[in-house]
């Protein structure tokens, strides 16, 4: 049986920009919303272990100018976040894939491919804001507790399948929440909140051109379009506050 820490690593680095639609399980079994979250100390320690694993699996981008630019953006957004006491770090991975993800305790990872694909500092800022929002909203802590519950049901195949679907549903919920809070953080720190929907639109167009959705199915592009539309509506309310 996989440990909660290993399964957490598998789930947290989900592809940030492509989501597939899943059917929601019925109400015969539900995740426990009252699960006790792990403490800040436990979360940071867990993040250190995940970070150690990631650094063992990837080469890191050592370009000092690029790392400084990303660190400066991260610091600006962290300063307006709701958990700005966490020791946030943003590491660039030498990968041509277009992706961003986070580990517990404030560890954020961007791929070189993402930075190369981004057209503006605002786009990068909104993506970093999204990952900081995951930490601020304690998504990792909540997910960790729910993964442990999922593992406890692995002996019952029917219940295990339902719990996995619910975990996937929870991930989609977390993504939408992190979108909203992340662009708000970017806006508060002086960046254009439209950076995230702009980036998502271009990445969606690229995915369609390359036939990715021919494999994943129509539901994936529909999910991202819904996400983009939600963001456009929200950022329009922020623009009125300028």
Q: Say how many Å lie between the first and final Cα of the chain, rounded.
A: 52
> How many domains is the chain built from?
1
Strand partners, 110: 92, 100
Would 81 be classed as within a structural domain?
yes
Would 20 be classed as within a structural domain?
no
pTM: 0.81
Residue entry with tokens 């990968």: 95
Would 23 be classed as within a structural domain?
no
pLDDT, averaged in runs of 10, over the chain (242 residues)? 46 39 34 60 89 92 97 98 95 94 92 96 97 91 72 63 68 88 97 96 90 58 87 91 69
Would 84 be classed as within a structural domain?
yes
- What's 33's DSSP letter? T
Of 16, 36, 39, which Cα lies nearest the Cα of 126? 16
Query: What tens digit of pLDDT does each residue of 134-190 get?
Result: 999 988 777 777 777 767 766 666 655 666 666 667 777 888 999 999 999 999 999
Would 192 be classed as within a structural domain?
yes
pLDDT at 14: 38
Q: Which domain holds residue 108?
A: 4-14+33-239
Would 27 be classed as within a structural domain?
no
Would 220 be classed as within a structural domain?
yes
Would 148 be classed as within a structural domain?
yes
SS3 26: coil
């Amino acid at each position: 049986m996989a440990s909660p820490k290993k399964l957490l690593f598998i789930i947290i680095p989900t592809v940030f920009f492509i989501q597939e639609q899943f059917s929601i399980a019925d109400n015969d079994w539900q995740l426990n919303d009252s699960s006790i979250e792990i403490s800040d100390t436990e979360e940071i320690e867990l993040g250190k272990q995940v970070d150690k694993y990631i650094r063992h699996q990837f080469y890191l981008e050592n370009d000092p100018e690029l790392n400084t630019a990303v660190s400066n953006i991260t610091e600006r957004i962290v300063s307006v976040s709701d958990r700005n006491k966490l020791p946030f770090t943003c590491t660039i991975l030498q990968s041509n894939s277009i992706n961003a993800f986070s580990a517990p305790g404030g560890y954020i990872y961007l791929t070189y491919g993402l930075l190369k694909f981004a057209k503006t500092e605002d786009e990068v800022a909104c993506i970093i804001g999204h990952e900081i929002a995951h930490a601020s909203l304690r998504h990792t802590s909540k997910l960790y507790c729910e993964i442990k519950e999922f593992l406890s049901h692995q002996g019952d195949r029917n219940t295990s399948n339902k719990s996995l679907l619910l975990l996937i549903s929870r991930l989609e919920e977390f993504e939408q929440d992190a979108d909203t809070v992340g662009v708000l953080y970017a806006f508060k720190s002086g960046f254009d909140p439209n950076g995230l929907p702009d980036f998502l639109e271009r990445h969606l167009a690229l995915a369609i051109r390359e036939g990715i959705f021919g494999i994943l199915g129509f539901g994936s592009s529909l999910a991202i379009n819904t996400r983009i539309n939600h963001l456009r509506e929200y950022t329009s309310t922020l623009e009125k506050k300028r």
